[in-house]
Structure 1
Amino acid sequence: MSSIIVPKALDPGATIAFISPSARLNDQYPAAVLRATAVLKGRGYNVREFYNKDIGIQSSIINRISELRAACLDTKVSAIICTVGGPSFTELLPGLIADTDLHNIIRANPKIVLGASESVDDETLPLAFCIKHLFRAIADREPIGDVSRSPTYAHKHPSWFHDPASIHKTELVPTPGWIWLRPGKAQGRLFGGCLSVMARLNGVRQIVPDWRGRIIFFETATGEKFGSGNPIDRVKAGIADLIAQGVFEDAAGLVVGRPFGYDSTKQREKYISVIKGLLCDGPLSKKEFPILFNVDVGHTTPMVTLPFDALAILDSEKDQFAVQESGVV
């Protein structure tokens, strides 16, 4: 496993950069960007947005690389936040992999980088939960400890997805809670992300992750139809891809985020049956690593922020998922 690069904690008054290295939604949802900026400025931080209008595919690739590079090179920037996720970040990888000067700069002066799979709703409770656990991960030098659980969640997209100017509060429903799909106890370093992206990363030989001994976490994207969850056949295919690539051969444990669009008991059972059928039955049943389902990560609101490479534990007997190290120094 490669050496871990740990950035400095976000200090009061620091500068945070907004970038969009995949989907380009800043100009479509300016009100949402302004609200996010206001939240951070209200906590005393400075915010800079790195965004240039695209005029084509190659223009977009050049823009996104230059924006990311500029944010990394700016000595006043302490943290970089991706404003939204999306499927097209791999377009940047050939350029970024070849940019050895940038690699050296990042190693010499690492910054906090926050990925994104879903944007935060503006309802008071979800926003407060997200902000609390975001800064717990990037501004607190103490270990996160037990991962928190929100008592409610938003089962629909925020209203501004279909009306950019809307500030209508999203309906909240009770959270079903954690479900241990396989019991056990494990310790390992956290690594993972969106299921479809994880499978794609294993196809880029220069950056194939080392999955050995990890507590892996994954979550699934929304479906192509507005308001829908990721189709169950794609979920099954994504997990099968990771199995075929050997990701779970030496896994210490698995954490699965609450899947968007799977809100009824019947829908959740369908999702769970795929995980059990592929990971708890058949050859991988002998691995016996614990599997925890329905954690507040990924395409869900609200969510906790998990630090990559931080040491974590899973313990079904204690009903515990805890991060034992800080993600910053």
Structure 2
Amino acid sequence: MPSAVIPKALEPGATIAFISPSARLNIRCSAFMTRATSVLKGQGYNVREFFNTDTGIQSSIANRLSEIRAAFSDPSISAIICTIGGSNFTELLPALVADTELHSVIRANPKIVVGFSDITGVHWFLHALTGLRTFYGPGALPELGEANSVDDETTPLSFCVKNLFRIITSREAIGDIQRSPTYAPKLAALFDNSDTPKPPEIIPTPGWIWIRPGKSQGRLFGGCLTAVARLAGIRSIVPDWRGKIVFFETAIGEDEASGNPIYRVQAGIADLIAQGVFDDAAGLVVGRPFGYDSEKMRDEYIGVIKGLLCEGPLAEKKFPILFNVDIGHTTPMVTLPFDTLAELDSEKDRFAILEPAVL
């Protein structure tokens, strides 16, 4: 495991790159990409998009690898935002794991890297083989490309942007993780194959729920539940879970309208237990699950967590479990920096990061 590499804080006027290491929707969703670019430019940054047209599976793999190398090798780029997740990032991992020259380039010129969902694999690769601290946060599609005003603080877009730049520009300890009073229960227009600018409908959030109380400190690590379970078989990038505050969140269902089925959630958590993720965990943070919007559905999701982690052999562990945080497949979302020292305290209703995320 290489020593930790912490990227520099994003400076005004810096250049941010978009890359697409998994799903390749840049052309199909060009209006969203245009709006995402405008949002970043409106915050005072330059934007570059690394994207070549694919002609097949192997062409796509080659393109994605070359785009990753180009973005990381360019000294003018300070931050990289992955446009969206997708299930095929692992196609790149054999080449990325073997590319020791790229590892050296990244360590010598570290950049801020942001993304979520199956971009979990990017985060794990960079942490394990370069030591780089990365950020679990929004992509261009659809988060930064939403049809909303950044200046209207009631919008999900404003919350996403505010929290992203709070994390990657400040050299001060981050402190309390923010929580949005509202969220959008339905997917963005992106998934309706539409470029029509239509702001998401929002409803009140039930807020944080402490499934198991307690107080602890540990370093944050995790990702999308299904990706975490899949990546466990790639030994070279699996983290040391001891003492970690683990976080996970769940993806959308295959119908792109409902949440990840509860049996898959149960299987995913069981996979993590079998892998020893919670043997010496300091805590667990669970993202607000997409599609679980009624009290009955939330209780079903919580019941799975309780049944697996609060009963049986793991009941004696007593680490705190916080549920319904604005991370992952939810709108809006906060940005979480990997491998930062965090604290959970149910008595104070607090989830906080105790150090800066950038230099």
Shorter-chain TM-score bucket reads over 0.9
Question: How do residues 170-319 of structure 1 correspond to structure 2 at under 5 angstroms?
Answer: 170-319=200-349
Q: 5+ residue gaps in structure 2?
A: 118-138, 150-154
Deviation of 1:208 after TM superposition, in Å, equals 1.3
Q: Specify the SS of the correspondent of 2:222.
A: strand
| Cα distance in 1, alignment partners of residues 246 and 2 from structure 2 | 17
- Following superposition, the deviation at residue 10 of structure 1 comes to 0.5
CA distance in 2, matches of 1:31, 1:221: 24
Paired-residue identity, %: 69
Task: After TM superposition, give the deviation of residue 166 of structure 1 in Å.
Answer: 1.1
Q: Is residue 116–residue 223 contact of structure 2 (8 Å, CA) maintained in 1?
A: no
Decide whether the 8 Å contact of 1:133 with 1:304 is kept in 2.
yes
Partner of 1:122: 147
Query: Aligned partners of 1:318 and 1:130: how far apart in 2?
Result: 25
> How far, CA to CA, are the matches of 1:206 and 1:126 in structure 2?
37
Distance in 2, matches of 1:163 and 1:242, equals 34
| Paired position in structure 2 for 1:18 | 18
Deviations, residues 34-71 of structure 1 (Å, cap 9, x unaligned): 00000001111110000011111111111111101100
- Aligned residue in 1 for 2:29: 29
- Paired with 1:167 and 1:213, the residues of 2 have a C-alpha distance of 44
8 A Cα contact 1:32 1:164, kept in partner:
no
State the match for 1:8 in structure 2: 8
Answer yes or no: is 1:93 the counterpart of 2:118.
no
> Which string of whole-angstrom CA distances, capped at 9 and with x for unpartnered residues, describes residues 239-298 of structure 1?
000000000001000000000000000110111111110000000001110000000000
**Paired residue secondary structure (2:337):** coil
Which residue in the other structure is 1:112 paired with?
112
Q: Name structure 1 gaps, 5 residues minimum.
A: none
Instruction: Output the CA distance in 1 between the equivalents of 2:41 and 2:191.
Output: 23
Aligned-partner residue type, residue 188 of structure 1:
G
State the distance in 2 between where 1:81 and 1:159 align: 21
In the alignment, residue 264 of structure 2 is paired with which amino acid? R
Once the two structures are superposed, residues 161-192 of structure 1 have per-residue CA deviations (whole angstroms, 9 ceiling, x without a partner) of 21432111211100000000000001001111
CA distance in structure 1 between the partners assigned to 2:218 and 2:147 by the alignment: 34
Query: In structure 2, how many angstroms separate the alpha carbons of the residues matched to 1:263 and 1:2?
Result: 42
> d(CA) in 2 for partners of 1:174 and 1:52?
41
Structure 1 residue 116 displacement after superposition:
2.9
**Corresponding pairs, count:** 329
| SS of match in other structure, 1:36 | helix
Shift of 1:159: 2.0
SS at match of 1:21: coil
Assess if the C-alpha contact under 8 Å between 1:23 and 1:84 holds in 2: yes
Confirm or deny: 8 A CA contact 1:218 1:256 kept in the other structure.
yes
Counterpart of 2:178, as a letter, is S
**In the alignment, what sits opposite 2:81?**
81
Letter in 2 for 1:54: D
Q: Look up the SS of the partner of 1:226 in the other structure.
A: coil
**Aligned equivalents of 1:159 and 1:92: distance in 2?**
29
- Between the aligned partners of 1:278 and 1:172, the Cα distance in structure 2 is 32
CA distance in 2, matches of 1:186, 1:4: 22
Contact 1:223 1:231 in 2 (8 A): yes
Give the Cα–Cα distance (whole angstroms) in 2 for the partners of residues 114 and 169 of structure 1.
23
The match for 2:185 is 155
**Cα RMSD (Å):** 1.1
